[in-house]
């Protein structure tokens, strides 16, 4: 166990199968991780669907403009919009224990991202600040469910020796998606206004889910029980 030094000489932890050797070139290690992602359609789909959700459906860059220019709520309204997504995500995260018993995690991810996109689009149409905040909370809850399921898919299909690299890819996707969303939201707002940007982004997210289903059907078919029962090489 980590931190347990009571064993004798030679009793140290064994390197897991597929782990990077001490002198393996870094670029070769990265290439191996990327080949694994490319070869696992369910995993690739889980990464792609999150990028779609965050790139098109994350209007965070417009919250201040929405609060001030649309709802005339000032700094307090801006804070409420920012907090709503996090509040919804927190509540959902505290109640996701049921996911441990779910098998069709890919299907849950798909519906969660659809719910995210619809909630964002409706928030863009909302006539009041409180309604917009409530819809953003729903979106945050859906995103939290999606994140838990995607993390479970990542862990279940990845061999031990690649877990570190896959965790890095997962973090890269989670971090870069919202940044791309900031650019998309701002660009769309410059073209058609704030409401147009939020509504079109949410709808584009839903359309993007349909594209992901066609491109990565393995995500829809993903069955946690079947994957965990399969020998380790079959998980790739």
| Dihedral sign, Cα of residue 134, residue 140, residue 143, residue 147 | negative
pLDDT of 125: 95
Report if residue 180 sits inside a domain: yes
Report if residue 24 sits inside a domain: no
Residues in the chain: 236
More confident site: 58 or 27: 58
CATH number of the domain at 63, please: 1.20.1250.20
| Confidence band of 96 (pLDDT split at 50, 70, 90) | confident
pLDDT of 231: 63
Report if residue 29 sits inside a domain: no
DSSP of 82-97, one letter per residue? HHHHHHHHHHHHTT-G
pLDDT for 68 beyond 90: yes
Question: Domain range for residue 75?
Answer: 46-230
The overall average pLDDT reported for the chain is 85
Report if residue 1 sits inside a domain: no
pLDDT digits (tens, 9 = 90+) for 26-53: 777 777 777 777 778 888 999 999 999 9
0.85 exceeded by the pTM?
no
Element (H, E) at 143: helix 129-157
Q: How many separate domains does the chain show?
A: 1
Contacts of 10 (CB under 8 A, 6+ apart): none
pLDDT for 108 beyond 90: yes
Report if residue 126 sits inside a domain: yes
pLDDT for 145 beyond 60: yes
pLDDT for 99 beyond 70: yes
Report if residue 174 sits inside a domain: yes
* pLDDT mean over 97-124: 94
Report if residue 36 sits inside a domain: no
Alpha-carbon distance of 208 to 201, in angstroms, equals 10
Report if residue 19 sits inside a domain: no
pLDDT of 24: 64
pLDDT for 208 beyond 50: yes
């Amino acid at each position: 166990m980590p931190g347990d030094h009571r064993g004798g000489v030679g009793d140290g932890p064994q390197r897991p199968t597929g782990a990077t050797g001490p002198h393996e070139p870094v670029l070769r290690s990265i290439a191996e991780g990327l080949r694994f992602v490319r070869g696992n359609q369910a995993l690739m789909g889980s990464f792609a669907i999150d990028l779609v959700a965050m790139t098109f459906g994350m209007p965070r860059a417009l919250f201040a403009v929405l609060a001030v220019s649309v709802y005339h709520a000032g700094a307090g309204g801006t804070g409420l919009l920012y907090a709503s997504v996090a509040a919804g995500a927190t509540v959902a995260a505290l109640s996701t224990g049921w996911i441990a018993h779910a098998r069709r995690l890919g299907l849950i991810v798909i519906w969660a991202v659809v719910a995210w996109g619809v909630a964002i689009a409706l928030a863009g149409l909302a006539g009041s600040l409180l309604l917009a905040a409530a819809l953003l909370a729903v979106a945050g809850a859906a995103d939290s469910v999606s994140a838990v399921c995607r993390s479970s898919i990542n862990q279940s299909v990845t061999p031990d020796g690649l877990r570190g690299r896959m965790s890095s890819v997962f973090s890269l996707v989670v971090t870069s998606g919202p940044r791309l969303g900031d650019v998309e939201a701002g660009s769309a707002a410059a073209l058609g206004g704030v409401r147009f940007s939020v509504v079109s982004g949410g709808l584009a997210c839903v359309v993007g889910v349909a594209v992901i289903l066609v491109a990565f059907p393995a995500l829809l078919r993903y069955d946690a029980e079947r994957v965990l029962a399969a020998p380790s090489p079959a998980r790739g």
